[in-house]
Amino acid sequence: MNRSLNKVLLIGEVIREPEMRYTPSGRPVTTFLLETNRTWNTADGEKHSDTERFHIVAFGSLAETCSQQFERRCQVYVEGRLQSRQWEDREGIRHNSVEIHALDVLFLCENQDTHTSSGDDLMNIDMNEIRY
């Protein structure tokens, strides 16, 4: 039996305001940029840090919740899956990207109510409808 798994768990800060749009069929899509940081010490005690940025995409009711519930610099937990995309822009240039398609989001901001939402609508989306 072949097994496969595509699962991503992240905790980080939202560094760009969530942006909500709609697919041609009217389904909400919210995107935002999430930043994670890590620090470590080398064997000789030198401190290092690294920052990663992830493009997060949420669909349906989760998209609406993300658009309304948090703002820039809010800390969130995101559970989702990796999705690679290829598209051609108006000038005919081909682009590739890797995104995290959110399935669940937990808001960790102190100034807001903690809220969990599920991205069940992701299972029913036609990926050909997504255009940026």
Is the model's pTM score more than 0.85? no
Rounded Cα distance, 131 and 110, in Å: 34
Taken in order 91, 92, 95, 100, the sign of the CA dihedral is: positive
DSSP state of 73: T
Phi-psi region of 44 (alpha: psi -120 to 50; beta: other; left: phi over 0): alpha
> What confidence tens digit (pLDDT) does each residue in 95-119 have?
999 999 999 999 887 654 444 445 4
Cα–Cα distance, 42 to 113 (Å, whole number)? 39
CATH topology of domain 8-122: OB fold (Dihydrolipoamide Acetyltransferase, E2P) (2.40.50)
Q: With CA atoms as reference, report the closest residue to 31 among 18, 17, 44, 40.
A: 18
Residue ranges per structural domain of the chain: 8-122
The pLDDT value given to residue 33:
94
Whole-number mean pLDDT of the chain?
Answer: 84
According to DSSP, residue 92 is labeled: S
Q: Is the pLDDT of residue 131 over 80?
A: no
